[in-house]
Structure 1
Amino acid sequence: MQRMPNAIQLTDLTRDDLVEMYAYPVEASVPYVRVNFVTSIDGAVSVDGRSGGLGTPADHKVFALLRDLADVIVVGAGTARAENYGAAHTDSELRRRLHREGLGGDAQGTPPPIAVVTARAALDPASRLFTDTGARPIVFTTAAAPDDSKKRLIDAGAEVIVAGENQCEAENIRTSLDALGLRRVLCEGGPSLFGEFLTAGAVDDLCLTLSPQLVGGTAGRIAVSPKAAPTPMEPRHLLLADDGTILTRWERAATRG
């Protein structure tokens, strides 16, 4: 059994250290799916329906870096609505440097697109996702979604991709992202989408932040699916922030090439 790495103080690390610790595999031949979540120490995934109440400066720092490293940010429609998602705004200089070094980013420094998963194409074309200046959003939906709903999203500027007949399937999403050349995948939830990727055996990496607070309430867990899908993971690092935030990274024990 792999032992948990010794804890490292976040303040002892430079940005370049963090880039090295969170870098995706170089030139991955297939999409590498990383999931990022924050929970309270009693396991709550949200406060009053939003994850923002769990955020800390350390979590925000890593959240931003993960976006800088990614080719695409995938999120479920419920999370996009609850968190009022807009376009991603990343560090253009860092993304250009990451691209030069083969670690991620983008040659022009442009931010990664947001890809929203919605079986019924149930998104508001007037929401920030479509009105915020940034990369063109991607919408994964189904053949069964109303054609007029899909057309409204296309007219609002989205690239609409059918990823299943009645539900969006994780493997179809991965295949579509691969065809677009988007292989460094960052999934920001929610729990149902995480569960879909987990059940499909498509989760390669989990970045999990423990926020130093107790929440209680009725908030659910970070992954929800109709059936269990035990997936052995190996710890890669454990970082400690001065305020008690714990940042962990876990990688699938047998990752794809």
Structure 2
Amino acid sequence: MRALITTANLIVGKSGATTVAGSSIGLSNDEDRKRFKQLREESDLIIIGGNTARREPYKRTPIPLYILTHTKVRLQPKNQLAKQFLLTPAQLFKEISENFPPIESSSAIKVLVEAGPMLLQSLIDQGLIDHLYLTTNLVKDGENRISVDHLVANFELVSQEIIEETKFERYKKI
């Protein structure tokens, strides 16, 4: 069994909104997308939930995409790097730890969670997330609000930076 290093990334609006018109894209900006791309470049695979797969553009990913879902998701066109799992989060993490292909650079598998707030909070509550990158758009807002305080309750703030109208925070699990 190999170790997992799990990092989650989430963007919210000024009052904790997670979407604008059903997608997080409306909350993002160039600096957020740059940091998002960097997180992907440092990761070995991405985990998302079924709702995220249905609402966000996951037709192509630079690394394997694992979709944790209760019902099958159809990505059009099909993402050749995507696999769907009808497992619990703990079962999926065990599956990754035991069966993910070997990586030359490290024995630990770097997992990036890009799930929506419901799945992300569930993973946090189960102690499965080691690091959290939280981006807050200080101007825009939308729907599907969450409690950011509840989301970060089991984490400590490591760094915070404000660039223009966006706050970037990095947390680690306590």
Band the TM-score falls in, shorter-chain normalisation: 0.7 to 0.9
Matches within 5 A, 1:169-184: 169-179=88-98, 180-181=100-101, 183-184=109-110
Query: Runs of 5+ in structure 1 lacking a partner?
Result: 1-28, 89-110, 142-162, 164-168
Asked if residue 115 in structure 1 is aligned to residue 66 in structure 2, the reply is yes
Partner SS for 1:45: strand
Matches within 5 A, 1:56-67: 56-67=29-40
Structure of greater relative contact order (alpha carbons < 8 Å, 6+ residues apart)? 2
Query: What's the CA shift for 1:116?
Result: 0.8
Query: What's the CA shift for 1:190?
Result: 1.1
Which deviations, in whole Å up to 9, do the C-alpha atoms of 1:115-162 show, x marking residues without a partner?
A: 111112x212x613x2x5xx5212111xxxxxxxxxxxxxxxxxxxxx
Query: What's the CA shift for 1:222?
Result: 7.2
Asked if 1 retains the 8 angstrom alpha-carbon contact of 2:89 and 2:123, the reply is yes
Q: TM-score, normalised by structure 1?
A: 0.59
Which deviations, in whole Å up to 9, do the C-alpha atoms of 1:156-189 show, x marking residues without a partner?
A: xxxxxxx2xxxxx121111111121572110111
- Structure 1 runs, 4 residues or longer, greater than 6 Å off: none
Asked if residue 219 in structure 1 is aligned to residue 144 in structure 2, the reply is yes
Q: 1:234 corresponds to which residue?
A: 156
Which deviations, in whole Å up to 9, do the C-alpha atoms of 1:170-223 show, x marking residues without a partner?
A: 21111111121572110111122112212211111110001121425x423278
Which of 185, 207, 230 is residue 111 of structure 2 equivalent to? 185
Which deviations, in whole Å up to 9, do the C-alpha atoms of 1:29-53 show, x marking residues without a partner?
A: 5112111000111111111111000
Residues 178/63 of structure 1: CA separation in 2 closer, same or farther (3 Å cut): same
Query: Runs of 5+ in structure 2 lacking a partner?
Result: 102-107
- In 1, distance between residues paired with 2:5 and 2:110? 6
Q: Percentage identity across aligned positions?
A: 24
User: Superposition RMSD on alpha carbons, in Å?
Assistant: 2.2
The aligned amino acid for 1:68 is: E
- In 2, distance between residues paired with 1:184 and 1:213? 32
Query: What's the CA shift for 1:85?
Result: 1.3
Residues 222/174 of structure 1: CA separation in 2 closer, same or farther (3 Å cut): farther
